[in-house]
A and B are shown apart, each in its own frame.
Chain A
Amino acid sequence: MSGQTFVDQLKQNFGDKITGANLENIDPWIEVSPEGILEVCTHLRDEPSLAFDYLNGVTAVDYLHTDEKKAAKADWEPHIEIVYHLFSMQHKHSLVLKVLLPRWRDDQEKTLPEIDSVAGIWTTADWHEREVYDLFGIHFTGHPNLKRVLCPEDWVGHPLRKDYEMPLEYHGIRGR
C-alpha cells in the first residue's frame, strides 16, 4: 500500500483527526490529533489488512530552543511530539504515528499536557508511557498506574525536556 493512498484512506475514516503526514522522511509518519489517538490506534490494531498488533515503543521529542537567537530562526513553534512506533507481526510492516502537544496545558507553566493512554490497546504501552511521563512530563489520561519509572518518585522536573535544569541538591547529595 503506497503512503498517500494509506493516508487518504485514514483521512476518509477519521476526517480531521488525521492532522498531517510526512511521506518524504526516511521513515514516513502520520500526525494524529490528541483527541483521535485512541480511535485511530484501535482501528490500526483491529483492521485485518493493517493488524498493527505490536507496539515497539512510545517516546517523545521536545522542541524548544533555550537560546533566544536560535529560537527566532526556528521554523517551528515550541511543542512536544509523542511518537508511536508500530509493527505488524502478521504483515511485517511498520508505521510511525505522531501526536503534537503543547509544552504546557493551556500555556500555564507546570501544568502537564494531556493525552489518552494507549495502554488499553497494547499492554506494553504501560511502562513506555510511564517513562514518557517521567522524563517528559506528559499526563496520560486513563493510564492504570502513572508513576515515575526511571527517576525516584520524589524527583522534581522532567529531565529530557530541553529547558530542564539539574537540581543542585537531592537528599543531601550534591549535584553539579
Chain B
Amino acid sequence: MSTTVDDPRVIEFDVRTDEMLINMGPQHPSTHGVLRLVLRTDGEIVSEVTPHIGYLHRSAEKIGENLTPRQWIPYTDRMDYLAGMNMNLGWALTVEKLLKYEPPERGRHLRVIIAELGRIASHLVAMGTYGLDLGTFSPFLYAFREREKILDLFEEVCGARLTYSYLTVGGATADLPTGWLDTCEKFLDQLLPIIQEYHVLLTTNAVFVKRTAGIGIMSPEMAIDYGTSGPVLRGSGVDHDLRRDGEEIYTAMYEGYAFEVIAEKNGHYPNDHDYPSIPQEAVLGDCWHRFYVRMLEVMQSIDLVRQGIDRYRTTSGSYGEPMKLTQKLPKGEVYLETEAPRGQMGFYLVSDGSAIPWRARARSSCFSNLWITSALCTGCLIADVPAVVGSLDIVMGEIDR
C-alpha cells in the first residue's frame, strides 16, 4: 500500500500499541454472509488476516454423488444464490459436455438472455452491498429496486425468484412466455439511464473514490498466481474472459455476439467513452477498478441481452429438451468452467456409466478469490478490510458449498 507524507493516515503508522486480536464475523454485516475474519491488529493497522470459512457447508458435493445430474440442479442454485441461473447453466453445460449434446440454436440464445440478465442482477447486488460496506445506504436501495425487476422477469419465466432451476441439462425447463421479450426490452431501456445515476452515486463520488482508490492493490501476476477469476482478475488488467477464451462448448453460446472483454488497456477500458474516466488516485488492480469492471460489465450485459433478444426472435425451432431425469451417463469424466458473475465457476463430473455421478465437484470461484484477502489486507487499516473484502464480491454459499 502506498503512503505519501501528506497522507493524513500516515500519522497512525507511528503509533505503537499492543497487538490485539479482533474477531470480525461470522455475523458481521459487512462480511457478506457467514465469513469470519480474525484480524491481528496493532492500533489501526492490520498485520494479519485469517479468514475462517465453512459455516455454510452443506455437503453439496456428497449429495451430488447420490443424485442424478438433473436432480442436482437445485443444489447448484443454492451455492451461488445471487446468480442461480448462471450456476444452473454451468452444471448443465458440464453434463452436456459429457453427453456430447448440442442444444438447438434457439436454446442457446435463450441461455444468453437469461445468463446475462442473471449477471446484471448479481452485479447490481455487488454494487449495492459494496456501498453498504463503505457506509452509504442509498445505492443499495436503488440497486435492489432494479434487481427486483429482473427477479420479476425471472419469476415470469420459471415461477421462482431466487432458486430458479430453470436452465437445465438439454436446454431449459420451459420456453420464454409470450410478451416476455417486450417487457424485458422495456426494462433494459429503463435501466440504461439509471446506470448513469449509479456512476454519480458511487463511481465518481469523492468519498467513494477516497475509500476505494489505491486500496487493496493486486498485481496481475499476483491475481493469476492466487487463482482469482472474473471481475477480480480483470480488475487487475488481465485480459481473460471465458465467454471469449473458454472451451468451445461454452463459447459456442456466444458465437456471433459482439462484445469486448472488460479489461484495462493503456489507461482505458473498452467502450468507456460515455462513462466517467478513471480517477487519478486509482491504481490498476485496486478496489475501485474491481468495482468499475463490474459496472462496465452491467452495460455490456445489457447490450448482450439485446443482441440475444434479436437473435431469439429471428430463430425458429425448439429451445431444447430437458434430459430424462434418470438417463444413464456415458463413462468418462469432464471438467468445464464457465464465466459466472463472480468468476470462473468450474464443475467436475466423473461418471462410471450409471445414472448417478461417481463424483460431482464444484470449483468455486469465490473460494479462490477470498483466499487473497489475507495477502491484500496485510498492512492496511481496519476500516479498509470491509472495503477490500467487499470489492471481491464473495458469496459464502458458493465458497462453503
Contact = CB atoms under 8 A, between A and B. Distances in A.
A159 B368 contact: no
B54 A57 contact: no
B97 to A, nearest CB: 6
Contact of B97 (A26, A135, A160): A26
A160 B335 contact: no
A54 interface: yes
Nearest to A126: B371
Interface in A138-176: 148-152, 159-160
B19 interface: no
Contacts of A61: 350, 358-359
Interface in B370-401: 371, 400-401
Contact of B367 (A27, A62, A96, A127): A127
Given A92-B245, A159-B59, A160-B61, A25 B333 contact: yes
B62 interface: yes
Interface string B224-266: 1111000000000010100001010000000000000000000
Contacts of B54: 148-152
Chain A interface bracket (under 10, 10 to 19, 20 to 34, 35 or more): 20 to 34
A75 to B, nearest CB: 10
B129 interface: no
SS of B interface (majority):
mixed
B380 to A, nearest CB: 19
B334 interface: yes
B348 interface: yes
Contact of B238 (A26, A59, A89, A151): A89
B335 A85 contact: yes
A83 to B, nearest CB: 7
Contacts of B57: 150-151
Contacts of A25: 332-333
B335 A27 contact: yes
Given A85-B335, A89-B240, A123 B363 contact: no
Contact of A57 (B247, B332, B363, B400): B363
A167 B214 CA distance: 48
A48 B225 CA distance: 16
Nearest to B220: A89
Contacts of B98: 26
Contacts of A27: 333-335
B368 A124 contact: yes
Interface in B194-247: 224-227, 238, 240, 245, 247
Most chain A C-beta atoms within 10 Å of own C-beta, residue among B62, B247, B333, B368: B333
B361 A59 contact: yes
Interface of B: 53-54, 57, 59, 61-62, 97-98, 100, 224-227, 238, 240, 245, 247, 332-335, 337, 344, 346, 348, 350, 358-359, 361, 363, 367-368, 371, 400-401
Given A150-B53, A150-B401, 12 more contacts: A27-B334, A56-B344, A57-B363, A59-B361, A89-B238, A123-B225, A124-B227, A127-B368, A127-B371, A148-B54, A150-B400, A152-B54
